[in-house]
A and B are shown apart, each in its own frame.
Chain A
Amino acid sequence: MRERASPLFRRHRPSWTAPVELLSFGLYFLCAVLLVLSRIGHGAINEARNGLVDLSAPMLELASVPAIEARRALERAELYMAAFDEVDRLKKENEELKQWEWRTKLLERKVAHLRSLLNAVEEPALVYATGRVIADARGPFVRSALINLGRRDGLRIGYAVINGDGLVGRTVDAGHSVARVLLLNDLNSRIPVLVGPAGVRGLASGDNSAELQLDFLPEGATLYPDDEVYTSGSDGVLPRGLRVGVVTGSPGAYKVRPYAELNSLDAVSVLFFDAPALTRADPPEASDGIGALSAAPVAAQETETASAGLPMTVVPAPTGEQAQAER
């Protein structure tokens, strides 16, 4: 005789009661309605979603701490394993960078001289705020991340998000204290880019995989592996010159390998770049105070940063108190 210790072996009688069946049918119908409303991008759905994400933000922030610490510990362990090789590599890289530093300073002087000769207009400074990824909102069909910056920090929809390596994505939802960043490799992500030293125009499209597809290249365009890819700014949303990645693949199937490690994002910066297209799509709130380029505090201390290879000056966003003082 078989032993029946597991509760699974017990006789099980389902409850075929009309209310439950009716409720289930109603729930299936509700799911279908939600899918349709979500597809058409109903405003109420988006508002409800933003509100609920805002509510769940503290819980997510708390829950993400152990995961982030565990990931860092793993990274540290990996680093220790390859410490000697890493030191050698860094020494070599440091030597190369010293040479580059000297060349860059020379070029900077040359550019400044030429600009003064041409009487060129100064480029506006970019304001940014740095936050942390609190949830890996990468569903099977969506590659996004939740960050702990929101409208209270002056953030709006459409802002570029970068980390130390390069462009990460752009904000697509902004709640009071959290925002959703659509990552570069998301199915809905399309970034107009320039490729290589010749500045060949193209479109880097996400397809939910680790690399981006490079489409709409001009007829007969010749690209080479490891050619640098950076934003063209022709969409009127992202600033020009943000580092995206490098070219991989072969002619006819060129791809872009992003510089940023999109699977393990931690600290990211949001660039408050208010292009006209963006201002129309998501007008700034009167109470924002910060966020628009025009509202960039003149007195804000300029910082030198190499983040994402930005061609323009980058200044950190003021805190709430500073913004109030500015007003």
Chain B
Amino acid sequence: MTNLLPALSVLFAVVATAVPWGLPADATFILPLVVVMMVFCWRAIPGSALHPAGAAGLGLLADLMSGGPLGYWALMCLIAATVGRRAGTLKESQDVGIHWLIWTVLVSLLGVFGWLLASLYYFRWIDWWPIALGAAASVALFPVVLYGLLWVRHGRVGLARNTLFRGAS
């Protein structure tokens, strides 16, 4: 079950992106970028198992649910998975700050790449403002998501489960 935790949490986030929250038109990039950020974080957390194929599959599911170009979010998730794995090897004593910086650079590049790709796809310049807003929001949300995932993986969830098992025995 622990091995499935990363994929399940990202799947939950993908479904959440499709739910009608009633967000304004400019905020549509925020939730999909949180999915990409989760893929990055899971790949950066040592010991967690989120295969690149799984990341691409979940991205593809996001594409299907959004009705957008197939392969777009799959590609984004795949890039995040690749960079996330490499991010763990940058240096010793890395901390959240360094991962945050890496994510800031990555999401900026992903934003520009995504904007160019989408503009090429539709043969017209896509409005860049929602992408920039989504990227900025994802940078601001990074520590929350990262600590949230660490909490899910190593935190009280495990302790609570152990307590429950002890109580049962």
Q: Which of A31, A33, A39, A56 contacts B121 (CB 8 A)?
A: A39
Which single residue of chain B is at the shortest CB-CB distance from A137?
A: B67
Interface 1/0 per residue, A187-208 and B, CB below 8 Å: 1000000000000000000011
A6 to B92, CA, bound (A): 13
Q: Which residues of A contact B47 (CB under 8 A)?
A: 7, 10
Contact A135 B18 (CB under 8 A): yes
Flag whether B94 is at the interface (Cβ < 8 A).
Answer: yes
Total interface residues on A, CB under 8 Å, equals 64
Q: Which of B73, B78, B94, B130 contacts A8 (CB 8 A)?
A: B94
Chain B: minimal CB distance from A211 (Å) = 9
Q: Which residues of A contact B131 (CB under 8 A)?
A: 140
Of the listed stretches A60-68, A240-248, A286-294, chain B binds A60-68
A13 to B114, CA, bound (A): 29
Chain B: minimal CB distance from A13 (Å) = 7
Chain A: minimal CB distance from B152 (Å) = 12
A262 to B95, CA, bound (A): 42
Contact A137 B21 (CB under 8 A): no
Flag whether A11 is at the interface (Cβ < 8 A).
Answer: yes
* Beta-carbon contacts under 8 Å, A51-73 to B: 52-53, 56, 59-60, 63-64, 67-68, 71
Contact A7 B154 (CB under 8 A): yes
Chain B: minimal CB distance from A190 (Å) = 13
* Beta-carbon contacts under 8 Å, B21-74 to A: 21-26, 28-29, 32, 44-47, 52-53, 56, 60, 63-74
Total interface residues on B, CB under 8 Å, equals 61
A12 to B131, CA, bound (A): 32
* Beta-carbon contacts under 8 Å, A130-147 to B: 133-146
Q: A7-B46, A37-B70, A187-B122 are in contact. Are A63 and B25 (CB under 8 A)?
A: no
Q: Which residues of B contact A45 (CB under 8 A)?
A: 70
Q: Which residues of B contact A138 (CB under 8 A)?
A: 23, 25, 28, 66
A135 to B31, CA, bound (A): 14
Contact B15 A60 (CB under 8 A): yes
Contact A24 B52 (CB under 8 A): yes
Q: Which residues of B contact A68 (CB under 8 A)?
A: 20
Q: A8-B94, A14-B88 are in contact. Are A139 and B25 (CB under 8 A)?
A: no
Contact B66 A14 (CB under 8 A): no
Q: Which residues of A contact B117 (CB under 8 A)?
A: 35
A8 to B26, CA, bound (A): 34
Chain A: minimal CB distance from B8 (Å) = 13
A12 to B88, CA, bound (A): 6
Q: Which residues of B contact A32 (CB under 8 A)?
A: 71, 75
Contact B52 A20 (CB under 8 A): yes
Flag whether B156 is at the interface (Cβ < 8 A).
Answer: no
Interface 1/0 per residue, B95-136 and A, CB below 8 Å: 110010000000000000010011001101011001100100
Chain A: minimal CB distance from B63 (Å) = 8
A223 to B128, CA, bound (A): 30
Contact A210 B25 (CB under 8 A): yes
The interface of chain A, by Cβ under 8 A from chain B, is 2, 4, 6-14, 20, 23-24, 27-28, 30-35, 37-39, 45, 49, 52-53, 56, 59-60, 63-64, 67-68, 71, 133-146, 173, 180, 185, 187, 207-210, 262-266
7 extra interchain contacts, Cβ-Cβ under 8 A, other than A34-B74, A39-B121, A144-B67?
A9-B94, A24-B78, A35-B72, A38-B70, A38-B71, A64-B19, A140-B68
